[in-house]
């Protein structure tokens, strides 16, 4: 049975196991696999996931299948406000678009859980919650040649913009919520 829950809705005795699963899925999903020290590994996790757990736990969603954590979505309803709490490289490059697309998200799944349509269900669940809050739009930032572009395109993230950040091109994908 598939179940989507907010992290904040878990009983306190279930949270440590969920946090352990989130960290496992995070490191299975990231392209960086080795770190020069445990501190660098911890800082990397904090930047891309841990800060969302700390500052935006009400926008952290978990997807379980048969009581096993398979993936998560970390979201933020107010990207402009998040610039003071999050240190996501390049995010401020698109600050002028945050009024139309104030929310943003990250999503990761265990490798064995990919390709089953669960990611789409999890994103749609979050989009529905944003609509209830009257949030006008959502975005994410990736690279134009990333594998995830077609996934988000199918979900309606069709408002796009390419901008330079350092030596890289960042690809903004926005979705108007109606």
- Write down the CATH number for the domain with range 2-176: 3.40.630.30
Residue ranges per domain, the chain? Answer: 2-176
Determine what percent of the chain is predicted with pLDDT higher than 70.
Answer: 100
Tell which residue, 60, 56, 55, 58, has the closest CA to residue 23: 60
Structure confidence by residue, pLDDT tens digits, 121-134? 999 999 999 999 99
Determine what percent of the chain is predicted with pLDDT higher than 90.
Answer: 93
The distance from CA 99 to its chain's CA centroid, rounded to whole angstroms, is 19
Structure confidence by residue, pLDDT tens digits, 97-153? 999 999 999 999 999 999 999 999 999 999 999 999 999 999 999 999 898 999 999
Is residue 178 scored above 90 in pLDDT?
Answer: no
CA–CA dist 138, 130 (Å, integer) = 9
Neighbours of 140 (CB within 10 A): 21
pTM for the structure as a whole: 0.94
Is residue 79 scored above 90 in pLDDT?
Answer: yes
Structure confidence by residue, pLDDT tens digits, 29-58? 998 999 999 999 999 999 999 999 999 999
Phi, psi of 54 (to 5 degrees): -75, -50
Distances (CA, A) of 22 to 28, 83, 97, 133: 10, 23, 29, 26
| Per-residue pLDDT, 86 | 93
Q: 89: pLDDT confidence band, cut at 50, 70 and 90?
A: confident
Is residue 94 scored above 90 in pLDDT?
Answer: yes
Is residue 76 scored above 90 in pLDDT?
Answer: yes
CA–CA dist 67, 22 (Å, integer) = 14
Tell which residue, 65, 58, 72, 66, has the closest CA to residue 23: 72
| Per-residue pLDDT, 33 | 92
Whose tokens are 């265990």? That residue is 110
What residues contact 102, with CB distance under 8 A and at least 6 apart?
77, 78, 79, 80, 135, 136, 137, 138
């Amino acid at each position: 049975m598939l179940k989507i829950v907010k992290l904040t809705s878990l009983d306190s005795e279930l949270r440590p196991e969920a946090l352990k699963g989130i960290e496992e899925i995070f490191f299975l999903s990231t392209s960086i696999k080795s770190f020069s020290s445990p501190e660098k590994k911890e800082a990397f996790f904090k930047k891309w996931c841990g800060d969302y757990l700390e500052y935006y736990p009400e926008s952290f969603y978990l997807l379980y299948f048969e009581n096993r954590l398979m993936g998560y979505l970390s979201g933020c309803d107010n990207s402009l406000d998040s610039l003071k709490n999050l240190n996501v490289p390049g995010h401020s490059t698109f600050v002028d678009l945050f009024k139309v697309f104030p929310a943003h998200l990250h999503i990761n799944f265990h490798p064995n859980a990919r390709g089953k349509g669960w990611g789409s269900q999890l994103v749609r669940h979050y989009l529905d919650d944003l609509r209830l809050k009257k949030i006008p739009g959502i975005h994410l930032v990736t690279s134009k040649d990333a594998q995830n572009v077609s996934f988000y395109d199918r979900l309606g993230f069709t408002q796009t913009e390419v901008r330079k950040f350092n030596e890289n091109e960042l690809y903004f994908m926005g979705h108007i919520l109606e």
